């Protein structure tokens, strides 16, 4: 079978990236809305209940007006799945960048991406290559946009534990949230990566944020309960819910190491997947 025309692929991917970014910053996924709503209904702290009311009003207003729900529209973290019929070329990266530039101008998005040393800003959220584009094979051609704001990202951590410190993973997650305090705008969604390598654990933790948050394993629930015992609460003002969910992803690691990464996300766990039709 003849592969699709490269120009059609480029146009379709750029358009899908634009639509995914626009949707991600304006509306939350249904599973995220569910855990926010559940927490708002069961929160017992009066101040925290007020903060949940503000969060829910924020979400509703953004959807009604078609504007980003947060002034920090993040940096673009992109995940592509590519079926065998689609050639894997550099043009895919160019198409994603085009979609991000269009979203920056039209949504609009705050231009957040700068050179790490000179702090030069191209004002289009690209330049020097975007922060992260992850590619994997799959049955469908899709693009997923995960906008990552700095308030939460700055509080993320990686630890290289020893294999004998398996029981210290929960402690490391709780310590990370404790040190973060109110800065990542809790209540949080917490991605935890266990295994792989130093960089691999961080990638696992970020990818964990894409998993459905309205269902957790016993292990994830155990960590969540430990985090919520901190009592930091919504916006750091105290309450039952310092975090809304914990999601864990694992990978094989070296016999002599136990990498653990915690990727913090605020209550606005924004992401959207769009199928690319060519």
105-116 burial by CB neighbour count: b if 16+ within 10 A, else e? eebebbbbbbee
Give CA 126 to chain center in angstroms: 18
Q: Please indicate, yes or no, whether residues 111 and 134 belong to a single structural domain of this protein.
A: yes
User: 54 and 190 in one domain?
Assistant: yes
Q: What is the pLDDT of residues 214-232, one digit of tens each?
A: 999 999 999 999 999 999 9
Closest CA to 192 of 222, 160, 216, 169: 169
111 and 179 belong to one structural domain: no
Q: What's the mean pLDDT in 112-118?
A: 93
- Which residues span the domain enclosing 87? 6-27+67-147+271-275
Residues 206 and 242 in one domain: yes
Dihedral sign for Cα 194, 200, 123, 105, please. negative
In total, how many domains does the chain have? 2
Tokens of 266: 């605020």
Residues 221 and 185 in one domain: yes
pLDDT at 1: 60
Is 199 a member of any domain?
Answer: yes
Same domain, 21 and 129: yes
Instruction: Verify that 121 and 171 share a domain, yes or no.
Output: no
Task: Tell whether 186 and 97 lie within a shared domain.
Answer: no
| The two three-digit tokens of residue 18, written as one number | 């634009």
Of the pLDDT bands very low, low, confident and very high (cuts 50, 70, 90), residue 3 is confident
Note whether residue 214 is domain-resident: yes
**Whole-angstrom Cα distance, residue 220 to residue 30?**
20
| DSSP classification of residue 73 | -
CB 192 within 8 A of CB 247: yes
Residue 1 lies in a domain: no
Whether 181 and 201 share a structural domain:
yes
C-alpha R_g of the chain:
19
134-175 per-position pLDDT tens digit: 999 999 999 999 999 999 999 999 999 999 999 999 999 999
Mean pLDDT of the chain, nearest integer: 96
Which pLDDT belongs to residue 87? 94
Q: Using pLDDT thresholds of 50, 70 and 90, give the confidence band for residue 2.
A: confident
Residues 76-89 have pLDDT tens digits of 999 999 999 999 99
Could you tell me the maximum CA-CA distance found in the chain, to the nearest angstrom?
62
With 0-12 / 13-18 / 19 or more C-beta atoms within 10 angstroms meaning exposed / middle / buried, residue 196 is buried
pTM: 0.96
């Amino acid at each position: 079978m003849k592969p699709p025309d490269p120009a059609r692929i480029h146009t379709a991917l750029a358009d899908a990236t634009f639509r995914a970014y626009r949707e991600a910053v304006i509306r939350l996924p249904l599973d995220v809305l569910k855990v926010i709503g559940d927490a708002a209904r069961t929160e017992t702290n009066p101040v925290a209940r007020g903060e949940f009311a503000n969060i829910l009003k924020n979400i509703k207003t953004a959807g009604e007006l078609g504007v980003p729900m947060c002034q920090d529209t993040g940096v673009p973290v992109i995940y592509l799945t590519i079926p065998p019929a689609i050639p894997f070329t550099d043009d895919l990266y160019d198409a994603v960048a085009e979609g991000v530039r269009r979203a920056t101008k039209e949504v609009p998005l705050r231009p957040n991406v700068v050179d790490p040393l000179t702090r030069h800003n191209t004002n289009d959220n690209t330049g020097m290559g975007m922060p992260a584009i992850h590619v994997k094979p799959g049955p469908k051609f899709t693009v997923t946009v995960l906008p990552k704001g700095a308030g939460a990202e700055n509080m993320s951590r990686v630890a290289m534990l020893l294999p004998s410190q398996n029981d210290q993973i929960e402690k490391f997650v709780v310590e990370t949230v404790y040190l973060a305090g109110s800065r990542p705008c809790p209540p949080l969604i917490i991605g935890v990566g266990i295994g792989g390598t130093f960089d691999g654990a961080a990638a696992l933790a970020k990818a964990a944020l894409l998993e459905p948050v309205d269902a957790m394993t016993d292990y994830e629930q155990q960590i969540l309960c430990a985090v919520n015992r901190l009592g930091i609460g919504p916006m750091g003002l105290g309450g039952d819910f310092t975090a809304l969910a914990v999601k864990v992803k694992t990978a094989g690691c070296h016999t002599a190491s136990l990498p653990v990464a915690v990727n913090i996300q605020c209550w606005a766990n924004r992401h959207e997947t769009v199928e690319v039709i060519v």
